[in-house]
A and B are shown apart, each in its own frame.
Chain A
Amino acid sequence: MTTVDFDPGAAAARATAAILHDTLQGTDRGVVVDSPPGAGKSTLVVRAALELAEAGRPLMVVAQTNAQVDDLVLRLAEKNPDLPVGRLHSSDTDAYDKALDDLPQVRTSAKAADLAGLPVVLSTAAKWAHVKVDEPWRHAIVDEAYQMRSDSLLAVAGLFERALFVGDPGQLDPFAIVGSEQWAGLSYDPSASAVTTLLAHNPGLPQHRLPVSWRLPASAAPLVSDAFYPYTPFRSGTGPDDRRLAFAVPSDGSGPDRVIDEAAESGWGLLELPGRHTPRTDPEAVRAVATVVRRLLDREGAAVSERSPAPSPLTPDRIAVGTAHRDQAAAVRSALAELGVTDVTVDTANRLQGREYDVTVVLHPLSGRPDATAFHLETGRLCVLASRHRHACIVVCRAGVGDLLDDYPSTEPVQLGTLVKFPDGWEANHAVLAHLAEHRVGWRP
């Protein structure tokens, strides 16, 4: 693949055509699609759903969270307002997005029987697990299949004959809150991901991948691809000159402003605070994160992208802060509130999965830590945090993470029969850190 004649649009279209062909005409019971961050996974799911519905095959769609299900329903409704869609939901209050009530073609119910006969029915894996059918669905689409646990697939797999499994292998693996070493190495380890189990039992299934990330800018795709997808590389859909981030208010020379300028220029910025062991909610680092966000807004940023020729203002809803832990997110939220910032998304890596922003500010998972545990080293965590942005990503971190990584090589026990995931978190962290070092701005608050 040479850079000169690579046409991202054509490559993506070829991949999509092959996937749809295998899904609609193939004879295998399953098709697996690996999708890197922002490669148009949801678009693919919607398109496959519409084509399956058009072909007259009753379809069930399994997603992992209610937000994901609602999002898919809205996208389906937008693409084809005439297609009747069923939204199966739980009996809790606020079980689904109230925006669905305004769509005449969408029928919502907590009982699967009420939605019988509709061409497409969507729900979460947890809700589907309670559904009993006499006649299985002809087809299913399982979204975010790499974030679905094997036992959760076990509970719903009896509902469909064939399925399209779509997901991002580089994001966070599903986890169990109790130990599951007992089953490690078994092909159906209930704590493994659904795709791992599926492929262990059906190794011959066709596997595809989407080759182009439309979200990540040209500055980020090579790093994310090399660090997290070394054997399944992907490209950015846009070139280096297609996106620009500029600020109307000039820098005041402070650390936060300098790192903002660096990130606007290069797509990456590392704001490095003096090395120190701190509690998880490191007050200085939290304040630094909040200050960067405040300055991003104060400096009246404007983003130019392939979506629109005119610059669009960098508003709070286009900025997100990512952390490893919930208490860190809470601390950043209250720090932002003190600075009068509202409407900026602040969440953990787990909850930012699948989301997209113009600029992200990340509190590095290893910042200020005395040790590097498996949780903090997890490849998927860093991958999620480093791949949510369309323009720039600013990482706030204490110095010394490189040494910390060298002091704590990964020591997870090797289990017989389990697939070793590459790259491991240690390696991925080093790769990202090495790249960030080139965009380092040291700051003593």
Chain B
Amino acid sequence: MSLIATLARLEAVSTGRAQPAATVRHRHLSEHPLVFVPLTTAGEAGAPLGALVGTDRDAPRLLVVPQPRDRDLRFAFLAELADVVLPYLDSYAQAVEAAERTETDPESGKRVKVEVELCTDAPQLIVPSRAGLDFVRLLGRSMRFRRTAEQDPETPHPAPPRIPLLGRWLTHYGERARVPGSSLLLALTDVLSRHWATGQSSLEDQHLGALLAWIDPASDSTGAEAARRAELARDADGQLLCPPAGPATDPAFDNKLLAPAIERYDRARGALAAAEDALQADDRLAALTAAEREIRNLVESRTRPTWDAVWRGLDLLRALPEGARVEERWTRDRWSFTGHRDRVLAGEPPQPRRDDAVTAANKLATREREQARLEAQEALDDPLVLAGRRLAGEAFAGEVTDVVLAYSEGKRPSPRPLVTVRTDDRPHLAERAKVFRSLGGKPQAAEFVGYDGSPDEGVLVLRIVDKMGRGKEPEPGSVPEKGDAVCFTLFEHEQRGGAKLPDPEETPWTHGGPPGEAVPEAPDTTTEEDVL
């Protein structure tokens, strides 16, 4: 944890309220995000119990699996989920703008510009917490290899038609969420704790109720009290007043309310199946419907508070103005969405279970580059974030006290002005370290020449090395003037692209050689547990 984050947390403890950790919003928020609040069944990985899902905060769609171990009911739930999510995704796939992309021409091997479509906006999924991200990935993983009756008439348990497609999209969103700074799929607790520092640990911040209690406590209590209430307070029946954001449920809820309700449902179902005549069946169907409604009410009672909390959190975030470079990162998300749309349209197979060596290395390289980009952009967008970097010795702000025009040696001397800056910051400058400042949105580089006097006096001399035009005299405005307030960073503002890796079919011997022809991956084999 950085020093400034520690300070903010201490301040949050002493004031009883979360402290801002950012002055602008560093993630894109869609006008119409799709909020997804899933619940899972205890004891079985990836067995959904129910969910609230939708784009209208006043009218979420409630989906429930009354017997989570029943495979048909689970498929019905997933099909219903697909009915909500896929049309939402589709609604963004149509509106496109023309864009250019550089591609390698297969014939000449040259880099050429090609005109392609780029979706003008992309759909955004919001889940309450980090565990929700994992659940989205798990759902995607469990669905994308399923076979529909159309794909494989022999399959013993055909999936409803749109389920594999939903699995591919959720997988894509789940993978994209691993890219730093991406906003296609966001966990609200992550975004909120990026923007506010609470007086609790970052582990505790993953409880949405407690986190909101710190950020926006009721007027009569402190954040600590409100957070404690959100985490622990129970009603007369021993149920949590603020149910956890899921997907896991509270054991007290499972044992006291859910298990008996599911048992009643099972009994009612068994009774219906054993009905001997139509009249009896009618009665027993009514009992079954009532049992199902009871479970639906239970699931809604645990998801609705989280649903409302998510929208409250979104309101808080919307109150912050969007950071200047957020739009640029969102454009990358739009590319990501468009790219997957195109792969689906082109009939490509679902994402493989495991990445091959080249794909894994490319993903890691992209994420490291995006991480560095995100850190730089957040600091450039936000003085408070920059203050943290200054405190850490990775940037400094100060006033220009002197400028001496000097020139490089060589045949065509170029301007290399020496700029003296007085700063109260303590940057960790090594000999000849490169520093950068933002000049009209572009980074201008300078070289650290040395201290004027002792380092404690904070007077340092820099040599500006670029962005001054081609002439003998620097272009106007390209060199700071005496009295200017300047801010330099020790980190680069823009990230260089890495080297191109070999194509997967040229994977070298050190990495196992080419992976071979891709074979369509079979769905997971059905186990006994699947057909209880």
- Contact partner, A158, options B354, B363, B502, Cβ 8 Å: B502
Q: A129-B498, A327-B428 are in contact. Are A178 and B367 (CB under 8 A)?
A: yes
Q: Does A126 contact B (CB under 8 A)?
A: yes
Whether B368 pairs with A176 at a CB distance below 8 angstroms is yes
Number of A-B contacts (CB under 8 A): 95
* B40-48, B474-482, B505-513 - interface stretch: B505-513
Q: Does B501 contact A (CB under 8 A)?
A: yes
Whether A176 pairs with B364 at a CB distance below 8 angstroms is yes
Q: How far is the CB of A64 from chain B (nearest CB, A)?
A: 15
Q: Which of A147-170 contact B (CB under 8 A)?
A: 150-151, 153-155, 157-158
Contacts of A154 in B (CB 8 A): 357-358, 361, 501-502, 507-508, 510-511
Q: How far is the CB of A91 from chain B (nearest CB, A)?
A: 11
Q: How far is the CB of A430 from chain B (nearest CB, A)?
A: 26
Q: How far is the CB of B132 from chain A (nearest CB, A)?
A: 17
Q: Does A182 contact B (CB under 8 A)?
A: yes
Q: Does A191 contact B (CB under 8 A)?
A: yes
- Contact partner, B357, options A126, A188, A191, A337, Cβ 8 Å: A188
**In chain B, what residue has the closest Cβ to A162?**
B509
Whether A327 pairs with B392 at a CB distance below 8 angstroms is yes
Q: How far is the CB of B511 from chain A (nearest CB, A)?
A: 5
Whether A190 pairs with B364 at a CB distance below 8 angstroms is yes
**In chain B, what residue has the closest Cβ to A153?**
B510
Q: Which of A197-219 contact B (CB under 8 A)?
A: 197-198, 201-202
Q: Does A134 contact B (CB under 8 A)?
A: no
Cα separation A330 to B357 with both chains bound (whole Å): 39
Cα separation A202 to B512 with both chains bound (whole Å): 8
Whether A151 pairs with B512 at a CB distance below 8 angstroms is no
* Interface bin, chain A: 35 or more
Cα separation A188 to B356 with both chains bound (whole Å): 8
Cα separation A182 to B366 with both chains bound (whole Å): 14
Q: Does A334 contact B (CB under 8 A)?
A: yes
Contacts of B356 in A (CB 8 A): 188
Q: How far is the CB of B517 from chain A (nearest CB, A)?
A: 18
Cα separation A182 to B133 with both chains bound (whole Å): 14
Q: Does B432 contact A (CB under 8 A)?
A: yes
Q: Does A187 contact B (CB under 8 A)?
A: yes
Cα separation A180 to B361 with both chains bound (whole Å): 10
Q: Does A414 contact B (CB under 8 A)?
A: no
Whether A150 pairs with B361 at a CB distance below 8 angstroms is yes
Cα separation A381 to B502 with both chains bound (whole Å): 33
Contacts of B355 in A (CB 8 A): 182-183, 186
Cα separation A18 to B392 with both chains bound (whole Å): 50
Q: Does A21 contact B (CB under 8 A)?
A: no
Whether B510 pairs with A197 at a CB distance below 8 angstroms is yes
**In chain A, what residue has the closest Cβ to B428?**
A330
Whether B432 pairs with A94 at a CB distance below 8 angstroms is yes
Cα separation A327 to B361 with both chains bound (whole Å): 31
Q: Which of B512-532 contact A (CB under 8 A)?
A: 512-513
Cα separation A343 to B124 with both chains bound (whole Å): 55
Q: How far is the CB of B131 from chain A (nearest CB, A)?
A: 15
Q: Does B388 contact A (CB under 8 A)?
A: no
Q: Does A10 contact B (CB under 8 A)?
A: no
Whether A151 pairs with B354 at a CB distance below 8 angstroms is no
Cα separation A187 to B515 with both chains bound (whole Å): 13
Q: A94-B432, A155-B499 are in contact. Are A150 and B368 (CB under 8 A)?
A: no
Q: Chain A CB within 10 Å — which of B371, B393, B510 has the most?
A: B510
Q: Does A107 contact B (CB under 8 A)?
A: no
Contacts of B368 in A (CB 8 A): 176-178
Contacts of B251 in A (CB 8 A): none
**In chain B, what residue has the closest Cβ to A347?**
B430
Contacts of B508 in A (CB 8 A): 154, 157-158
Contacts of A327 in B (CB 8 A): 392-393, 428
Whether B364 pairs with A188 at a CB distance below 8 angstroms is no
Q: A94-B432, A334-B455 are in contact. Are A157 and B360 (CB under 8 A)?
A: no
Whether B428 pairs with A178 at a CB distance below 8 angstroms is no
Whether B364 pairs with A201 at a CB distance below 8 angstroms is no
- Contact partner, B499, options A129, A153, A182, Cβ 8 Å: A129
Q: Does A130 contact B (CB under 8 A)?
A: yes
Contacts of B455 in A (CB 8 A): 334, 337
Q: Which of B206-240 contact A (CB under 8 A)?
A: none
Q: How far is the CB of A157 from chain B (nearest CB, A)?
A: 4
**In chain B, what residue has the closest Cβ to A160?**
B508
**In chain B, what residue has the closest Cβ to A94?**
B432
Contacts of A151 in B (CB 8 A): 360-361, 364-365, 501
A-B contact list, 28 entries, CB within 8 Å = A29-B509, A129-B498, A150-B361, A150-B511, A151-B501, A154-B358, A154-B501, A155-B361, A157-B511, A158-B508, A178-B364, A180-B364, A183-B355, A183-B364, A186-B355, A187-B512, A188-B357, A188-B360, A188-B361, A188-B512, A189-B360, A197-B510, A197-B511, A201-B509, A201-B513, A279-B3, A327-B428, A337-B455
Which B residues fall within an 8 A CB radius of A?
3, 178, 180, 354-358, 360-361, 363-365, 367-368, 371-372, 392-393, 428, 432, 454-456, 498-499, 501-502, 506-513
Please give me the 10 A-B residue pairs with the lowest Cβ-Cβ distance, nearest first: A129-B499, A157-B508, A151-B361, A188-B357, A190-B361, A330-B428, A157-B510, A178-B367, A201-B512, A190-B364
A188-B360, A330-B428 given; 19 more Cβ-contact pairs under 8 Å: A129-B498, A129-B499, A151-B365, A151-B501, A154-B501, A154-B511, A176-B364, A178-B180, A178-B368, A182-B355, A183-B364, A186-B354, A186-B355, A186-B360, A187-B512, A188-B361, A190-B360, A194-B510, A334-B455
